[in-house]
Structure 1
Amino acid sequence: MSQTWEGADPPDLPPIDALGWLLVALRAPVMVVVIFGCLGLLLLARLIERPLFGARRPVTPLITQFVCRTVLVIMGLPVEVRGQPMTGPGAVVANHTSWLDIFVLNSRKTIYFVSKAEVSGWPGIGWLARATGTVFINRDRREARAQTEVFEDRLLQGHRLLFFPEGTSTDGLRVLPFKTTLFAAFFSDKLRHQMQIQPVSVVYHAPPGTNPRFYGWWGEMEFGPSLLRILAQRRQGRVVLVYHPALRVDDYANRKSLARALETQVQDGHIAELGPLDPEMS
C-alpha cells in the first residue's frame, strides 16, 4: 500500500471471547511453524535454484503456494475460484481489501507482488516478501524509467507480476478508482505488443452474523489485532476470486484507457458477487 484509506469508520466488533482465545492459541503456533519452517526450506531451495536457473524460479513458488493454502486452511477460510487464471506472459491487477489478499491470491497461481519499498524493511513481512521475489518500488513519477526497466526485466523473464492499482486497502465493500502511474511501464517498446493484463475481483463474504466489513483493513487499523480477530473467528466467511478475461495492452491507446477498462471489469465483478454498495456504508 502507498497510503491509508480513511473513507469509513472501522466496524464496531465484539471483543474476543474465551473460545476465540483458545482458537488463537491453537492456530497461531501452527501458522508460525508453517510460515517460517517453509521460509527456511525456501531459502535452502533458492541456494540451489539460483545457480541453476538464475532469476527464473521453477521450484520456490510451489513452496509459497503451499504455505498460503495451508495458512488459509489453518484459519478455516475457504476460497472459491471463478474463471480461469491466464496463461502466457503478463501481469495481474486486483482490488485490495486486506493483508489477507496476499495469501488468497498466492494460493491459486504463481505470482510476484509489486509492493512499496518500505515493506522490504518491515520485520517478518519484509523477510517473507524478499524471499518470495516481491518487486519493491517507490511510487514516484521521477523513478518511472527505473520502474519500467524493472518491470521489463521481470516480465520478459516470464514472471507474472501482480499489483493493486487502488494504492491502498479498503473495507472490502467497494473498489476504489485505479491509479494509472504503474500502467505506463506496459507501454514500453519491449512490452506493449506482447503483454496482457488480467483483472481479478477479490470479494470477501463476512462470517454469518458479523459486520460485512469484517475482513477489511484500513485507516489506523494495525496488523496484529486484525490477525488475532481472524484467528479467533470460530466460523469464517469465504473469499471469492473472479478471474476476468485478460486484456492485451496494445489494444489500448494509453495507460489511462487501459486502467479504466481493467477497473471496470474488477468493479463489475465485485458488484456482481457482493451487490451494490449500501448507501449507509458509503
Structure 2
Amino acid sequence: MKMMGAEFEVSDEILGTFAPIIVYWVYSGIYLMFGSFDNYRLHSRKDEDEKNLVSKSTVVKGVLLQQTVQAVVAIILFAVTGSAVEAAKNQKTSIFVLICQFVTAMMVLDTWQYFMHRYMHHNKFLYRHIHSQHHRLVVPYAYGALYNHPLEGLILDTIGGALSFLVSGMSPRTSIFFFSFATIKTVDDHCGLWLPGNLFHILFSNNSAYHDVHHQLYGSKYNFSQPFFVMWDKILGTHMPYSLEHREGGGFEARPTKECKDD
C-alpha cells in the first residue's frame, strides 16, 4: 500500500489481529439495517427493548473492552510463536492442508467453547457472577454477540481462539480468514433474524434460531454448542430441537419440540 510516496506494508499479524474486529462491526451494521424487517425477526422490536436487561451503549462498551483484550492476546501470541510463524510463511500450503487446518480449528474451538460454556451454566457461582452478563440479552442482536464478562471473553473466545490457532498449525495469513469467518458466524448466530437464503442456515444446524432457544429461560440448559456444529449437544444430551412458527404480528418464533427437564 502506497501513501504520500512511501510504501507501507501491513503484516499478516496485524491483519490477523484487527481484521476480525473490523469485520465484526461492519457485519453487525448490515444486520442492524436488516433489523427493521419485522417479518424476519425472531422477536419483536418491543421485546428487544423490554426484555433485555442491559442498555445498548453498555453492550457496545463491553464488546470494545473484549476486543481490546483479544487484540492484546493476539499480538502476544504472534510474538511468542514468531519463529514458527516465519517458517510457515516460507512454506507453500496446499488447498487440502488449508481445509484440514480450517476444520481442525473449527473442531477445537467448538469443543473448547461447548465444555466451558456448559460449565459456566452449571456452576452457580460462575453463572451468577460471570456468564449471566451475556444472558442479559434475552433477545440477542448482532453487535451483542461478544457482549460478555471480560473473564468469560478471555476464557471462551480469546483462549479458545488461541488454542484453535496453535493446534491447527495455521499461519497468521490463514488466521485472517478463519477468525473473520468465525466472527461472521458468531454475529449471525446472535442476529435475531431468520433471513431467507441465509447460507449459514442452510449449511449449519447451529444458527440464529438454535442459539435463540438457548437464550430463553426454557432453553438455558440446552444448545450450548457454538459457533459451528451441534455435535456435542447431540452426543451429550443437551440438544433441544425446535420448530420455526410464524409469530402473530409478523416474524418467526423458535418453539421447542421436546419437553424440558432439569439436569
Q: Which has the higher strand share?
A: 1
Q: Which has the higher helix share?
A: 2
- TM-score for the superposition, normalised by structure 2: 0.29
- TM-score for the superposition, normalised by structure 1: 0.28
